[in-house]
């Protein structure tokens, strides 16, 4: 009976594989115009006709409107090239695709921190804690931390749904970490643990946006999560431009101008998004600038949505990360003065644990009845994943100098951050050495956002294939070198200017190769399209 079942699944699998193979040869006319835009995975499913119960014309129009460049067209082309390279080695002038499109450090070889992974493994399989061998395999403080975490979970049940905001003991430990960082108290009840920062951002957008009359002030350029989430929730993105000439400066006069403009159009602006350190722009705000922003939000009755996921990623001596809560408290603003949400994630920093989907938001200045609504929204998804919750507590409370793990931890952390700083500088210098390219300093975060002066001829060539000029540049770069940059048009930019976003994440020994491929491509491109 069992043998039969195994044989049966083998046959089914072969049928599945054959279905795929034949579908690859069939081009579905209905999909040809748009299949290039997103998932290559979907192509395989097109071999048979589909039901027409759901059509693009009948779905939620807000979904259609939403765009998400960092996983958009350029990535789909890259994935196809990768498959092609695998099937036909030597078929392209490069032998690997280098994904510089997304802040995903471990996908490019960054190694996770030992202490974090030790604790996660012990919490996943607490059986290990009672074994003699464990003392040889794990550091003493990882073992004691795992015990402490397990003891903070009712019934030590790491497989149970937690409180909708996350496990209380983990939130308390995060609150201690925040208090130590800021020098101001933090309340564990203000923490909502989430599956990365993205669901927290969606939750705030869902709370604040009731219709297209509700506006959210967002930087341009911005991380496309914001434009996507605002589009999905049916609100209005109110743009404010960062000033490239002053190192992506955030000017209060610009905020004020855009706010008034939006108000004159009948839009109620509900919140201001600030990304600090900046994504895709890499700037780190000064304390003075942050104070002005806090005062502006108070004056204009705006919720301050502070994307602080790059708080550990600062690479310059003269700048330092300050949370907006610290700034607000330092000028004497309490809960009654300012409504503030701070987003943090385990995906960035030196940890880069994107796949673990851990993060939190700290909310302050909300009334009790609005907090209940936020709690209810969190409850509808039950809770975030417990491993991510544990990791968020570790990230906010890493090993201390007296702990056995500390030396290893410190070396790993320092190794990653100092290498990121060197990589940022090397790439920045490289961009600035290219003809017609200028690039601001990457003070923080994981990106550079160089400005490209494209010739009329290049712009015409892009127009001829119905592409944005920077998308045209990025596509040509990809086809020539295997390097994936995201066109600036995916982030927003001053009309008539063109950029690309490039992560600083390729491993350090690969950076010289990236730079020489980039230089060679850029010179050829410039020659080809010189006016």
Number of Cβ within a 10 Å radius of residue 519: 15
> CA-to-CA distance for 531 and 529, rounded, in angstroms?
6
CB of 17 to a second copy, least distance (A): 9
- Tell me the C-alpha distance between 431 and 499, whole Å: 11
Residue 405 contacts residue 142 (beta carbons within 8 Å): yes
Classify strands 98-99 and 340-345 as parallel, antiparallel or unpaired.
unpaired
Q: Is 102 in the site for a second copy (CB under 8 A)?
A: yes
Give kind and range of the element (H or E) at residue 268: strand 268-275
**Does residue 22 bind a second copy (CB under 8 A)?**
no
Strand partners for 269: 215
For position 28 contacting a second copy by CB under 8 A, the verdict is yes
Of residues 104, 342, 393, 493, which one binds a second copy by CB under 8 A? 104
| Minimum distance of a second copy from residue 525's CB (angstroms) | 29
CA distances (Å), origin 445, targets 56, 192, 223, 327, 349: 37, 23, 12, 20, 8
130 touches a second copy by CB under 8 A? no
The answer to whether residues 393 and 174 touch, using CB atoms and an 8 Å cutoff, is yes
CB contact at 8 A, 500 and 102: no
22, 24, 210, 331: residue in contact with a second copy (rule CB under 8 A) = 210
Instruction: Please report whether residue 326 would count as binding a second copy according to CB under 8 A.
Output: no
CB of 413 to a second copy, least distance (A): 15
Count the neighbouring beta carbons within 10 Å of the beta carbon of residue 436. 13
Interatomic CA distance for residues 17 and 241, integer angstroms = 50
Judge contact between 438 and 529, C-beta under 8 A: no
Site residues (CB under 8 A) for a second copy, limited to 70-89:
71
Work out which of 94, 184, 296, 321 binds a second copy, going by CB under 8 A. 184
Q: Which of residues 149-168 bind a second copy (CB under 8 A)?
A: 154-155, 157-165, 168
Residue 263: which of 291, 300, 303 has the closest Cα?
300
Contacts of 5 (CB under 8 A, 6+ apart): none
> Which residues sit opposite 484 in a β-bridge?
99
Choose one: 384-392, 411-419, 468-476, 522-530; the region binding a second copy (CB under 8 A): 384-392
Residues touching a second copy, count (CB under 8 A): 149
Q: Is 27 in the site for a second copy (CB under 8 A)?
A: no
Residue whose CB is less far from a second copy, 26 or 520? 26
Q: Which is nearer to a second copy, 46 or 454 (CB)?
A: 46
The verdict on 332 binding a second copy (CB under 8 A) reads: no
Nearer to a second copy, 94 or 184 (CB): 184
Neighbours of 33 (CB within 10 A): 8
Binding-site member from 370, 411, 520, 524 for a second copy (CB under 8 A): 370
Question: Does position 526 bind a second copy by CB under 8 A?
Answer: no
Say whether residue 195 binds a second copy (CB under 8 A). yes
Q: Which of residues 465-504 bind a second copy (CB under 8 A)?
A: none
Contact call for residue 307 and a second copy (CB under 8 A): no
Q: Is 35 in the site for a second copy (CB under 8 A)?
A: yes
Are 166 and 389 within 8 A, CB to CB?
yes
50 lies in the binding site for a second copy (CB under 8 A): yes
Q: Nearest-CA neighbor of 52 among 30, 75, 33, 32?
A: 30
Interaction between residue 352 and a second copy (CB under 8 A)? yes
CB-wise, 318 or 369, nearer to a second copy? Answer: 369
- For position 366 contacting a second copy by CB under 8 A, the verdict is yes
Cite the DSSP H helix spans in 320-399: 324-330, 368-380, 386-395
Q: Would you count residue 417 as binding a second copy (CB under 8 A)? A: no
CB-CB contact of 484 with 102 (8 Å): no
List the one residue from 24, 26, 140, 382 that touches a second copy (CB under 8 A).
382
User: Residue 49, interface with a second copy (CB under 8 A)?
Assistant: yes
Report phi then psi at 139, rounded to 5. -75, 155
From the list 130-138, 403-411, 432-440, 476-484, the region that binds a second copy by CB under 8 A is 130-138
Q: How far apart are CA 133 and CA 219, in angstroms?
A: 53
Q: Provide the minimum distance between the beta carbon of 451 and a second copy in the complex, in angstroms, as a whole number.
A: 27
Residue 314 DSSP one-character state = B
- Interface mask toward a second copy for 390-409; x: CB under 8 A: ----------xx--------
Of residues 46, 170, 451, 459, which one binds a second copy by CB under 8 A?
A: 46
CB of 346 to a second copy, least distance (A): 9
Rounded least distance, CB 275 to a second copy, Å: 16
Q: Contacting a second copy (CB under 8 A), which of 94, 106, 415, 519? A: 106
CA 216 – CA 239 distance, rounded (Å): 8
- Candidate ranges 183-191, 453-461, 478-486, 492-500; the one touching a second copy (CB under 8 A): 183-191
- Which residues have a Cβ under 8 Å from the Cβ of 180 and sit 6 or more positions away? none
The beta-strand segments (E) located in 388-469 are 437-438, 447-448, 451-452
Q: Which stretch binds a second copy (CB under 8 A): 222-230, 253-261, 470-478, 479-487?
A: 222-230
Nearer to a second copy, 343 or 431 (CB): 343
- The DSSP output letter for 514 is H
**In angstroms, what is the minimal distance from the CB of 207 to a second copy?**
5
Q: Is 54 in the site for a second copy (CB under 8 A)?
A: yes
DSSP 313: -
The answer to the question of residue 456 lying near a second copy (CB under 8 A) is: no
């Amino acid at each position: 009976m069992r043998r039969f079942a195994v044989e049966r699944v083998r046959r089914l699998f072969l049928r599945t594989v054959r279905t795929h193979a034949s579908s690859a040869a069939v081009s579905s006319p209905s999909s040809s115009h748009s299949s290039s835009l997103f998932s290559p995975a979907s192509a395989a499913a097109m071999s048979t006709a589909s039901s027409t119960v759901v059509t693009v014309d009948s779905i939620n129009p807000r979904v259609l409107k939403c765009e998400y460049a960092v996983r958009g067209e350029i990535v789909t082309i890259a994935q196809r090239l990768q498959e092609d390279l695998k099937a036909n080695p030597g078929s392209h002038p490069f032998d690997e695709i280098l994904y510089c499109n997304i802040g995903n450090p471990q996908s490019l070889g960054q190694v996770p921190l030992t202490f974090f992974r030790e604790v996660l493994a012990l919490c996943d399989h607490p059986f290990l804690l009672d074994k003699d061998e464990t003392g040889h395999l794990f550091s003493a403080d990882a073992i004691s931390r795992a015990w402490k975490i397990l003891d903070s979970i009712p019934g030590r049940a790491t497989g149970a749904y937690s409180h909708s905001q996350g496990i209380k003991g983990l939130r308390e430990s995060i609150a201690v970490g925040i208090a130590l960082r800021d020098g101001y108290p933090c309340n564990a009840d203000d923490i909502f643990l989430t599956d990365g920062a993205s669901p927290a951002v969606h939750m705030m957008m869902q709370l604040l946006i009731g219709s297209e009359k509700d506006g959210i002030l967002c930087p341009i350029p911005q991380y496309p999560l914001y434009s996507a989430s605002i589009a999905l929730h049916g609100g209005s993105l109110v743009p404010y431009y960062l000033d490239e000439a002053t190192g992506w400066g955030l000017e209060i006069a610009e905020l004020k101008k855009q706010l008034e403009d939006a108000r004159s159009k009948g839009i109620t602006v509900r919140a201001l998004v600030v990304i600090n350190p900046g994504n895709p722009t890499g700037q780190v705000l000064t304390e003075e600038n942050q104070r002005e922003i806090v005062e502006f939000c108070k004056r204009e009755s705006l919720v301050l949505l502070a994307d602080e996921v790059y708080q550990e990623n600062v690479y310059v001596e003269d700048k330092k990360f300050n949370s907006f809560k610290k700034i607000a408290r330092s000028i004497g603003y309490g809960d009654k003065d300012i409504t503030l949400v701070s987003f943090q994630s385990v995906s960035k920093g030196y940890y880069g644990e994107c796949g673990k989907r851990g993060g939190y938001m700290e909310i302050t200045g909300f009334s009790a009845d609005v907090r209940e609504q936020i709690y209810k929204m969190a409850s509808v998804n039950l809770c975030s994943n417990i491993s991510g919750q544990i990791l968020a507590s570790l990230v906010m409370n890493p090993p201390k100098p007296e702990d056995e793990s500390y030396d290893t931890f410190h070396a790993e952390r320092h190794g990653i951050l100092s290498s990121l700083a060197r990589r940022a500088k090397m790439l920045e210098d490289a961009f600035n050495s290219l003809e017609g390219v200028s690039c601001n300093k990457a003070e923080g975060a994981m990106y550079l956002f160089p400005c490209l002066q494209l010739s009329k001829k290049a712009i015409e060539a892009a127009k001829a294939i119905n592409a944005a000029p920077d998308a045209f540049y990025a596509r040509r770069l990809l086809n020539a070198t295997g390097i994936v940059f995201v066109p600036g048009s995916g982030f927003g930019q001053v009309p008539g200017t063109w950029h690309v976003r490039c992560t600083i994440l390729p491993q350090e020994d690969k950076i010289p190769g990236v730079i020489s491929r980039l230089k060679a491509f850029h010179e050829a491109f410039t020659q080809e399209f010189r006016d």
